[in-house]
Structure 1
Amino acid sequence: MNILPLYAAPQFAEQVIDWIWQAFGDGLPREFFQSVIDHSQTPGALPLTFIAVEGEQLLGTVGLWRCDLISRQDLYPWLAALYVDEAARGKGLAGLLQEHVIAFAAQAGYSELHLWSACRDFYERYGWRYIGDGLEYPNKTVHLYRYSLCPSAGGTTE
């Protein structure tokens, strides 16, 4: 299994668009998600989309985005649109996709990552810290998380 940027395997773009539209669309048109994916395939620039593949099989996707919650544009960057194909679930792939984005963001020099989720108790297992609630447009309460990328996070200080 390999995790790579979608721009390295653009033949998977349509499947990624369908996945995130079906999983996160909630009334938004497919074209919205197509635009997100179309604009997340420039090497070295945000947003970026990563995919997990095994041979010619697409297993999952995750994004590293500038903004994933319009009401919290003060937070930057975001782990976004984490999706694992149903046939690949239960094998730790969601954690591997998160680890990939975390490592990429740390190497790029970011000090923290953010994400929002409608559910609780999933991301905490991977080291994300709940920081409060936010508002997804137009009026949906969501849970906000932060992941510190600083090497000393959680370490002992003198």
Structure 2
Amino acid sequence: MREIIKIKDQPELKELAANWFHHKWGVPLEAYFESIETSISGKTAVPQWYGMFSKNKMIAGIGVIENDFHNRQDLTPNICSLYVEEEYRNQGIAGEMLDFVCQDMKNQGIETLYLLTDHQVFYEKYQWEFYTLAQPEETQNPSRIYRHRFI
């Protein structure tokens, strides 16, 4: 059975989650620990971190942060770090994760979410709309910003 867990609701998972995200994305481990700790404090809706677990193994993850390393500081908050382990892909997990996070953010009063990606078409399947281009910090080529509004 698969289950999506808000890491802040089960802080004993913070080390597992931080390590998992670090290994998937190469962002420094300390950055994940700090962001997850901030989410656990519960003082703000953002940042938030989520994991999908199957048999006590993290098989997918996603986060919400203020800015996903791009030049459009006005487009906030951002979905980030969506990843599904290869053997679990094409089972609708990414969509489940996106829906879960969107509902959670809506419940916390967030009306619009953004995400930075090089994917085309994939996010439209989940009611995200292409919004604009932004310049990622690590590349010379602009990437797509998608938007999901709850109003």
CA distance in structure 2 between the aligned counterparts of 1:30 and 1:109, rounded to whole angstroms = 29
3-state SS of the aligned residue for 1:50?
strand
State the distance in 2 between where 1:119 and 1:60 align.
18
Uncovered stretches (5+) of structure 1, i.e. residues with no partner: 151-158
Q: TM-score, normalised by structure 2?
A: 0.83
Matches within 5 A, 1:44-83: 45=44, 46-83=46-83
TM-score scaled by length of structure 1: 0.80
For the structure 1 residues 138 and 82, does the alpha-carbon distance in structure 2 shift closer, same or farther, using more than 3 Å as the test? Answer: closer
Gap change, CA 1:136 and 1:38, over 3 Å in 2: same
Q: Write the distance in 2 (CA, Å) between the matches of 1:142 and 1:21.
A: 22
Q: What does the per-residue CA deviation read over 1:79-111, in whole Å, with 9 as the maximum and x for residues that have no partner?
A: 111111223222111100000111111111222
Deviation at 1:17, TM superposition (A): 2.5
Report deviation, 1:32: 3.1
Secondary structure in 2 aligned to 1:104? helix
How many residue pairs align between the two structures? 148
Hey, what's the Cα distance between the residues in 1 that align with 2:10 and 2:37? 13
Structure 2 residue aligned with 1:102 = 102
CA contact (8 A) 1:41 1:47 kept: no
In the superposition, relative to structure 1, how do residues 119 and 23 fare at CA in structure 2: closer, same or farther (>3 Å)? farther
Q: How does 1:112-151 map to 2 (within 5 A)?
A: 112-140=112-140, 141-150=142-151
Query: Could you list the per-position Cα deviations for residues 40-91 of structure 1 after superposition, in whole angstroms to 9, with x for gaps in the alignment?
Result: 3233522010111234222211112222234111012111111112232221
Output the amino acid matched with 2:88.
Answer: A
Bigger CA radius of gyration? 1
Identity of aligned residues (%): 24
CA RMSD after TM alignment: 2.1
Aligned partners of 2:100, 2:28: CA distance in 1, in Å?
A: 29
Query: In the alignment, which residue of structure 2 is the partner of 1:40?
Result: 39
CA distance, structure 1, for counterparts of residue 28 and residue 105 of structure 2: 29
Task: Determine the structure 1 residue equivalent to 2:30.
Answer: 31
What residue number does 2:87 align with? 87
